[in-house]
Each structure stands twice: as structure tokens, then as C-alpha cells.
Chains A and B, each alone.
Chain A
């Protein structure tokens, strides 16, 4: 009992404490690590934002979206156009969110009445159509060659190298997006997402329109996707039709599932996977990157169906099971997984 209380109190403090430690590490990291590591971590922040957007619509609201790459692509092109035309940074950023957001909303207004496979097909249309369009509009996009920019150099008043400055800008924006989204998925709106995902009949009786809720989720996902497009160009300094290709979308969905869908931390872990696994697999055996990535995907799905984010819970589960098995089983109430463990007249069996 006392042990449980201590654990409870520890649980209450461990989250803010962990957040603080992570924040301090994130601030100090670029000062001590190499430009290469900074570049990789910044890229993770970019894809964490992209995955967060995908998570809003797929993980939280439960609507399949295979078009997230299109919004990253649009965001990156808007950012590229803005920098080459000397727009103010803030305006560029806002347009990078707004334009994909509007595109996402228009598609959702038309498609959100569809379900399952039909909906997935419509969302595929964006990257499928977007890739050739991007190649065509070569004045804006640089065509198949892509668009190379040179922007977001550190201002003269900061004594930071390019990689450090970009790291701070990207991570700061990502942190704000994460904070806002975290707030959103917790309260009133988050609950409406969850019930539209879980049971539309109940949603209706709670005064929630599934259609509007889905349109909102798609709009947010595409807006956040657009923001990650801005960040992408800031880090990579280059974008091409490849960014918004269908393949990118699929890889994002895979990374979201691996990280853990419907989870804020899952988006971060998914991004770590997205950036790190090709690097690691390439170092092991460059000719078998795809094979190794696929094997890792299968491994995670079999061992951790809830994604990497469920690892601590899974480990705890295994430990308790082992402990229970080693304890005397004679008067143990037994393994009650799957049956109600609480009854109307008692708290515990």
C-alpha cells in the first residue's frame, strides 16, 4: 500500500522532471555535438512535427490519411518561394501553415463523408497528383531538379554556426507545435477526436458531428504538415517532388505506427526511427537498407503492437508476470487478464 503510494507520487513528479531533463539536454546538445549530429537531430524534429500532424488525423481521430507528404511538400515549396522572393520569415512561416491547411480542408470537406478504403484512396490522390504538378510548375518548384535555397543563416548578433542556429530555430518551432497540439488532444477537442474514432453513434448523441470533427482533424494535420515543410526546407535547404511523393507518405505512416499512434511521445519516437534506421541500416550494409528497415518494422510490430512508446509498459507487464509466476501461485487470484478485475462492491478482487 505504502509502496503503491510512493509509486503514485513518483509517477506524478516523473513526467515534469523528465520533460525538464529532456529540455535541458535539447538546449545543450548542439553546443557540444558535431554538425552532423546536429543535422540529424534537427531532421528528427522536422519529421516529429510531420508525424505529429499525421497522428492528429490518424492516431487521434482515427481517419486514414495517406497524403501527409503532400502537405510537407507544399509547405516546403511555399517556404522556398518565400525565401527566394525575400518575404519576411514570419509571413513565410504563416503561409506555409495556411496554404496546406486550406488544401487539406478543401479535400476533407469533399472526402470526410467517406470511410475506410474510399477515404484512403482520396488521400492518396494528393501525392499522386502533386508529384507531376510539382514537376510541371518548374518556375516555382524548380521542376524535377528541385529547389535549392540558402537561407536561415545565423544573424550577425549570435555566435552560432549554421547547424546550431537552424537546430535552435527548428527545435523551438517544433516545441511550440508540440505544446499546442498536446493541449488540443487533451481537452474538449481531443475527446471529440477520440469518440469519432471509437464510436460515431455515441459521438452523435454527445452533440459531436463526426463530419465536422474529421474535417477539423484533416485541416489540423495538413496545417501541421505544412509547418514541417517549412522546417524541412530550413534544415535540408533543398526540396524536390520526391518530398511530396506517395512513398514519403507511406514511410510516414510506417514511422507513426512504429513510434506509437495516438501518442505525442510516439510522434517523437517515430521520427527518431524515420531518421535513424536508414542511417544505421546503411552503415551495417548499404546495399540492404530497405531489407533491414523492413525487418525492424516487422520486429517492432510483433513485439510491440502499440509502438515504441509502449515499450516501458510492455517491460513492466513482462516483469510483473515473471514476479507473479515466481511467487506462490496457490492462493493467487489467478491471471485475470481479459476479465473484469473490479466489481461493484469492491475495489480489488
Chain B
């Protein structure tokens, strides 16, 4: 029931094995295991407080699970500090967009290129040719990504002047700037209008095809989950409730119960 969701190379892009995370006495994640095949989209659903964001934080190295292991492309990441995860090809967005509101949208997106840009403080203060070339290329790429997400017009606008929905798009561009192989999206459609959700689904489809990305997405919007995911896992109170396709999840009585019939009924796919 878990393997072979799509043609893989054998090694899963992401393996989470028996991860348990506690805060004080509270068990936030309880023996969670799943695998994500390369170049697939994996959905992570569950009621608020289920532990989805905490699971993302464990994968990205922001939290350190008490037990269990997490492998990215077959590489154990337990002892990898969070800031080295970008080099393993990991990028993420945050549930509450964390942009630099005083900076322009372009500057925000450029930050994502950090791990790819060459040179240290000396070459940058001397503006050596290779840093200038790399910076120019990064700017061009950032503008291209903004174009793709329909945000090109906002490049020189201060991020603080944009609506919440657009922040999500800017965060996506920033994450894509690092050329990730594995992308974690935490509620990318929360607060988006209908048109924006459609646009987002389109972007994910093209980006995934063009860049060969593996994506793990947390989302409450079941229409979106059905549209973009290959498989989903349902999390409740820190424990895995079920795993399967989005269609299976929506009719699973345990899932319906966990949501108290609320969100599932509300966002039935059209």
C-alpha cells in the first residue's frame, strides 16, 4: 500500500521512519512513518493541531525528534543542522508567510538563491566578476519565477504592500530559487481566493514537471489535495490515521470522524 506510487529510482525522495516528537509531556508526533517516491506529490492532511507543521519542522531540521529517523534521498538527516538541509536539496514554505515586509518582492525571492550563489564576504565586497555574474543570473531567474507565478509586476513592490494571498506566491518563488529536489509546502492555499487556488494548482503542475520536484504539501483545501497529490497521509493527534489516495482518504470513516465531518464536507471537490 505504500510503495511504487510512481516510477521511482528505488530510493524514496523522503523517508520518515517512526518519528516521535514531544514537547514537555505532550506527544506531538507519535511514531509517524511514511515514504514519498521521487517526483510525486504527497499530501499531508489532518485537523488543526494534528502535528503537520511539527512534522515539517522535523524534516527541515527546525525541530529535533526524540526518536526515529528521517532520510532525504536515502541520506540520514538526524545530525544535519537545519541550515545544511538546503544543500541536501530541501526547501520549504511556512504556514504563516515569513517575508521581509520592508524589502522588495524581488529581494525576498533572491534570498532563496543564497545556497547557490558563489563567494564569501571578500568577493562580494570587492564585487568580483563572478559574484556580479551570479547575482545578475539570479535576478533574471527570480524575475522568471515571478513571471511564472503571475507576480512579475510586483517585483519592485515592497512585500508589505502585498495581500496575504500574494505572500504565499512570493514564498513559493523564494523556495524554488534554491533549485530544490524536495519541496515542503505548509498550507500554500490558505486564505487564497478561488482564482488564486487555480493558479497555484497550475503552477505546481508545471513546476513539478519542469523541475522534476518531489513535493510534500499540507493543506485543508480538499479540492486542491485531490487535484495535485498522488498520495496522502492523514494525521490526527500526532499519529498516522491512514495513507492512500486523496479519494480514499475522503471516504475513509476514520478521517471523516477526525474532521468531525466539517472540513471534508465543506470542501468537496467539484
Q: Which residues in A have some Cβ–Cβ distance to B below 8 Å?
A: 180-181, 183-184, 187-192, 194-195, 198-199, 201-210, 216, 220, 340-345, 347
Contacts and interface: CB of A to CB of B under 8 A. Distances in A.
A340 B163 contact: yes
B165 A344 contact: yes
16 contacts: A184-B121, A188-B113, A188-B124, A195-B100, A205-B91, A205-B94, A206-B86, A206-B115, A206-B174, A207-B86, A207-B178, A208-B114, A209-B81, A340-B162, A341-B161, A342-B162
A201 B111 contact: no
A344 B163 contact: yes
Interface stretch (B20-28, B125-133, B243-251, B257-265): B125-133
Given A342-B154, A344-B195, 19 more contacts: A180-B125, A184-B124, A187-B117, A191-B111, A195-B111, A198-B100, A202-B94, A204-B85, A205-B82, A205-B94, A206-B178, A207-B84, A207-B85, A207-B86, A208-B114, A340-B162, A340-B163, A344-B165, A344-B193
Closest 10 CB pairs of A and B: A207-B86, A207-B115, A184-B125, A204-B82, A180-B125, A340-B163, A209-B83, A188-B117, A202-B98, A187-B124
Contact of B135 (A188, A192, A209): A188
Given A180-B126, A206-B111, A342 B87 contact: no
A175 B78 CA distance: 47
Contact of A194 (B103, B157, B195): B103
A188 B133 CA distance: 12
A183 B162 CA distance: 28
Given A201-B62, A207-B84, A183 B111 contact: no
Contact of A191 (B62, B83, B110, B163): B110
A55 B85 CA distance: 30
A185 B113 CA distance: 16
B62 to A, nearest CB: 6
Nearest to B166: A344
B131 A188 contact: yes
Contacts of B7: none
Interface in B144-158: 153-154, 157
Nearest to B175: A205
